[in-house]
Amino acid sequence: MVFKLYIWSAVSIEIGLYDNNSYNNRGIKTMASWFRKKTYPIGIDFGRSGIRLLQLAQNGDNLALIDAASAQAPIELRNRSVELLQWRIETISQLLKQGNFKGRKVVTGLPGSDIVAQHLLMDKMSADQLKAALPFAVGDKFPFPVNQSLLRHIVAGEVYEGDKVRQEVIVMAVPAVVMNHQMQIINQLKLEIEAINIEALAVVDSFSHSDSIDDSAVMIVDLGYCSSKVVIAHAQEITFCRTVKLGVENICQSITSLMPMAQSQAEQRYIENSTGILSQENDANVAVANEVLEAIEPICDILVSELRSCIRYHDLMFASQPVSKVVFVGGQARDKRFCQNIARSLGLSAQIGDPLRKIEISDNIPNDIDPQNVNPQWTVAFGLSYNQRI
């Protein structure tokens, strides 16, 4: 079996700010036409809170959506690896059978919550020398043994240290057990794996189909369930990568500390608040909404502090190209107020990313996609399917 893990991709972030009319001008095709298209592999996004499957096709110069499907993992299984593994196998099998996906080829993503990234300043050397030197250079910087992990790196660019030119290297490691978990699923479902990608790179890749490439430094923040993944890219080059251990899970824990309720109820309250249900003119709803906002505020403040730290490091290393814009993706990015508050605190222009905005969608729009709103939650699955280096 050939294992491929890609570490480079392009980014384009020309996607309207909080655009609720993104789908109005899309071409509509019948399902029969999919057979005349070049079909991409199925992208499988293994999130802590659920599973997302998405498959694309090339229709001439345009991209088209074949199908997309998702399922939420029960809260009680999310931190129980054996039970979660079995749930994923059963759920993916069911989603594939019920959907209109074509073929058995898949590209999976190593979850950002399981990847640890370290930035190192290294002397200039050949690619082979750098690869050999990295296990020694990282030492004990990772919370698990290097010899029991998958190690990959990106040379982010050249920087000056005094009069000496050195390389800024991003080293990413994931425990071998995470890889084994995915391979168990693939083998049991008899799927054909074309590549295993890194989630942060899939996020960047999801915008590479656009004709407009932004040469400025763009920070992409993938707001997930148990963590937020931060990537800074200069056009086709990733220059910064980090995982911040803050997400919806932390917000729900904060809600339960203020209001006596189960974690599942807190999650539902947060979803209702982020989608505007609690903003209706109703005294009870308004009271709950205010408490939810009170719970969110300290999490937002901590995340802003972490993002400022990321920006400071990046701008110190790449002073000629400071971060100028932030793009929010991931499930939590549907909370527009949360994203706006973060962007306002950072003093940056902001967008909510929607990789589906400029692609063709069939008459039968999947239930998991909202044609009236942006869909940032599909960013990783989109980038996995659209991987152009297979």
Per-residue pLDDT at 13: 28
Residue 307: its pLDDT value, please? 97
SS3 content of the chain, % helix, strand, coil (to 5): 40, 30, 35
**Is the separation of the CB atoms in 170 and 156 below 8 Å?**
yes
Output the pLDDT for position 102. Answer: 94
pLDDT at 370: 79
Q: Which pLDDT does position 39 carry in this prediction?
A: 92
Question: DSSP string of 278-335?
Answer: GGSS-HHHHHHHHHHHHHHHHHHHHHHHHHHHHHHHHHHHTTTS-EEEEEEESGGGG-
Q: Tens of pLDDT along 42-78?
A: 999 998 889 999 999 988 888 899 999 999 988 888 7
User: DSSP string of 117-161?
Assistant: EEEEEEE---HHHHHHHHHHHHTT-SSS-GGGEEEEEEEEEEEEE
Q: What is the pLDDT of residue 24?
A: 33
* Whole-number pLDDT of residue 363: 67
User: Which residue stretches of the chain have pLDDT < 70?
Assistant: 1-37, 210-214, 236, 275-286, 363, 388-390
Q: What is the per-residue pLDDT for 129? A: 92
Determine the pLDDT at residue 343: 94
Residue 21 has a pLDDT of: 34
Coil, helix or strand at residue 229: strand
* pTM assigned to the model: 0.84
Look at residue 331 in the predicted model and tell me its pLDDT. 87
Could you give the domains of the chain?
31-385 (3.30.420.380)
Q: How far apart are the first and last CA of the chain?
A: 14
Select from 160, 158, 156, 135 the least CA-distant residue to 201: 156
The pLDDT assigned to 47 comes to 86
pLDDT for 20: 32
pLDDT given at position 163? 79
What is the pLDDT, as a whole number, of residue 261? Answer: 82
